[in-house]
């Protein structure tokens, strides 16, 4: 009796260990990418909080010129209208993020222009993502024009929210 009980408890422990192992393996598979997930964009709510609508910094010719560069160098990844990859919030099989929307639906507006310029010139920060560097291809004025092109896709509240951060980053707020 004692012997069989002993066997049963060993067997139970064996089953428990197996379950723990399966859970751990499945967990590892699901959480294969080590870094934390990006936060859902708060753009819509925060952007709406901005009260006045500032004038756009660019002129129509920036947008036209930027649109040509955009179509040539950016649209293949970020989409013809800047809509991004459909699954941009989910890491891909390589654990890197797909191209996000630049059209105001994601968090591009979080970045003041010096950060936008840096990302476009140097690509993904630390070379850790799939955004290629464009500093060898596009001149400063071209990059400004491309930024004007995608900012022109942003609704006024999104632009206003970006503008607040822009002023802050320039120490003017
Ligand atoms: C090969 C695909 C690819 C091309 C081409 C590409 N990008 Fe990207 N871009 C990405 C990916 C992927 C990311 C996300 C980077 C990351 O997670 O590190 C990104 C991120 C960005 C961001 C940051 C967006 C944010 O909300 O933080 C900007 C701005 C950007 N790209 C602009 C451009 C511009 C302008 C061009 C054209 C000159 C361009 N990209 C061309 C793939 C691309």
33 pLDDT band (50/70/90 cuts)?
low
pLDDT number for residue 38: 46
Residue 134 near ligand 1, beta carbon < 6 Å: yes
pLDDT, tens only, 49-63 = 555 789 999 999 999
* Residue at 90 is within a domain: yes
**How many domains in the chain?**
2
- By CB neighbour count within 10 A (0-12 exposed, 13-18 middle, 19+ buried), where does 145 fall? buried
User: For ligand 1, atom 25, which residue shows the shortest CA distance?
Assistant: 108
The long-range contacts involving 52-60, CB below 8 angstroms and separated by at least 24 positions, are: 52/160, 53/156, 53/157, 53/159, 53/160, 54/159, 54/160, 54/163, 56/148, 56/151, 56/152, 56/159, 57/148, 58/144, 58/145, 58/148, 58/151, 58/152
- Do residues 131 and 119 touch, judged by C-beta distance below 8 A? yes
- Other CB atoms within 10 Å distance of the CB of residue 129: 16
Ligand 1, closest atom to CA 109?
Answer: 26
Q: How far apart are CA 83 and CA 101, in angstroms?
A: 4
1 pLDDT band (50/70/90 cuts)?
very low
pLDDT number for residue 28: 45
Q: What's the CA-to-centroid distance between 113 and ligand 1, angstroms?
A: 14
The 3-class SS string of 136-170 reads: CCCCHHHHHHHHHHHHCCCCHHHHHHHHHHHHHHC
* Residue at 37 is within a domain: no
* Residue at 70 is within a domain: yes
* Residue at 165 is within a domain: yes
pLDDT at 20 over 50: yes
pLDDT number for residue 51: 59
- Other CB atoms within 10 Å distance of the CB of residue 12: 10
Q: What's the CA-to-centroid distance between 34 and ligand 1, angstroms?
A: 21
pLDDT number for residue 127: 84
User: For ligand 1, atom 41, which residue shows the shortest CA distance?
Assistant: 74
Q: What's the CA-to-centroid distance between 136 and ligand 1, angstroms?
A: 15
Q: What's the CA-to-centroid distance between 131 and ligand 1, angstroms?
A: 4
39 pLDDT band (50/70/90 cuts)?
very low
The residue segments making up the domain with residue 157 are: 43-169
pLDDT, tens only, 110-132 = 999 999 999 999 999 988 999 99
Q: How far apart are CA 15 and CA 60, in angstroms?
A: 69
* Residue at 154 is within a domain: yes
Q: What's the CA-to-centroid distance between 84 and ligand 1, angstroms?
A: 9
Q: In whole numbers, what is the pLDDT of the chain averaged over residues? A: 84
pLDDT at 6 over 90: no
- Regarding whether 76 and 15 lie in a shared domain, the answer is no
Q: Which of 94, 95, 73, 93 is nearest to 82 (CA)?
A: 73
154 pLDDT band (50/70/90 cuts)?
very high
* Residue at 20 is within a domain: yes
User: For ligand 1, atom 10, which residue shows the shortest CA distance?
Assistant: 131
State mean pLDDT over 100-108.
Answer: 97
* Residue at 89 is within a domain: yes
């Amino acid at each position: 009796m004692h012997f069989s009980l002993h066997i049963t408890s060993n067997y139970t422990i064996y089953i428990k260990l197996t379950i723990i192992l399966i859970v751990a393996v499945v967990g590892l598979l699901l959480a294969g990418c080590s870094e934390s997930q990006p936060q859902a964009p708060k753009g819509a709510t925060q952007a709406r909080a901005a009260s006045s609508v500032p004038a756009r910094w660019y002129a129509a010719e920036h947008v036209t010129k930027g649109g040509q560069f955009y179509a040539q160098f950016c649209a293949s990844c970020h989409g013809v209208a800047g809509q991004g990859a459909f699954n941009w919030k989910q890491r891909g099989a390589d654990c890197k993020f797909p191209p996000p929307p630049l059209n105001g639906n994601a968090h591009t507006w979080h970045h003041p222009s010096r950060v936008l310029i840096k990302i476009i010139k140097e690509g993904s920060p630390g070379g850790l993502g799939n955004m290629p560097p464009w500093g060898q291809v596009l001149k400063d004025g071209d990059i400004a024009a491309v930024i004007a092109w995608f900012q022109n896709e942003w609704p006024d509240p999104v632009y206003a929210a970006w503008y607040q951060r822009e002023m802050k980053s320039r120490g003017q707020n």
